[in-house]
Every structure is written in structure tokens, then in C-alpha cells.
Amino acid sequence: MSQKSKAKKPPRKSRSGSEQRKLQPRITFRVDEPLRAKAKRDAAATGFTVGSYMRMLLGDECSMRPQRRPLPSEILLSQLKAEAGHVDGNLAQLLRKVNCGDLVPSDRLDDACEAVGSFYRKATALLFGEL
């Protein structure tokens, strides 16, 4: 046998993102329930998570990007966009068939009309707070 075949290859490093990040020290401390509730309330009022709110209070400069909680209007908008995307995808499939010269069965058209109507009802209910 040759010398090359006896030598062991070094193990491959995995390429996970956690190896690229620096380890950050943690600060942990105990609080009573009223103080915890106050921290959560104050953080929610500013739109941040509790951890981001504490980092904001402790220092002027923060190396970590603050994590902001989505506003109710942003949640509503994302729900509407998801529902519109679903309806849009169904209509696009039907239009592709029609453009290719295929006939679309009437039950599929009925389903598409019902989906559009359902989207409209859900969107108006979400916008006007009926849900």
C-alpha cells in the first residue's frame, strides 16, 4: 500500500450559519410577575419584543438589529395579500388554459367565481373589523 492511502483525511467542516456568528454573552435575571408584565406592556407599546426593548434601554448603540412586533394593520395586510395570492393563482391557471385554446369546465369557473366572492367578503370583513 502507498503512503497516501494510509493517511486519514481531515473531517469536513459543516457549513452551518451558526459557525459564522459570534457567540454573544447572555444576561439573565429573575423578576416578579408585576415587573415582567410591565416589561411586556412597555415593550408592546413601543412595538418591540422584550429583549429588543431591554437592549434599547441599556445602550445607545446596539450591534443586534431590533426585532419589532408587527402592527395589527400589518398582520391584516399580510392576511389579505395571502388570500389575494391564492385567488390570483387559481385565476391564472384558468386563463393559461383558455390562452392555450383549452376549454375550461363550468364547475371550475364556478369555483373561481366563488373564490373571488369569498375573498371579497373576507377582505371587507377584515378591513371593517367584522371578524
Domain limits, the chain: 30-69, 72-127
Grid cell for residue 121: 367578503
Q: What pLDDT, on a 0 to 100 scale, did the predictor assign at position 34?
A: 93
Grid cell for residue 90: 387559481
In this prediction, residue 13 has a pLDDT band, given cuts at 50, 70 and 90, of low
Q: Alpha-carbon distance 91 to 95, whole Å? A: 6
Lowest mean pLDDT among 35-49, 50-64, 108-122: 50-64
Q: What pLDDT, on a 0 to 100 scale, did the predictor assign at position 104?
A: 76
User: How many percent of the chain have pLDDT more than 70?
Assistant: 77
Alpha-carbon radius of gyration of the chain: 27
Torsion of CA 95, 99, 107, 123, to 10 degrees: 10
Q: Alpha-carbon distance 131 to 129, whole Å? A: 6
Mean pLDDT for 4-27 is 66
Grid cell for residue 32: 416578579
- Reported as half-sphere exposure (CB side, CA atoms, 13 A), residue 131 has a value of 9
Higher pLDDT, 24 or 64: 24
Q: What pLDDT, on a 0 to 100 scale, did the predictor assign at position 108?
A: 78
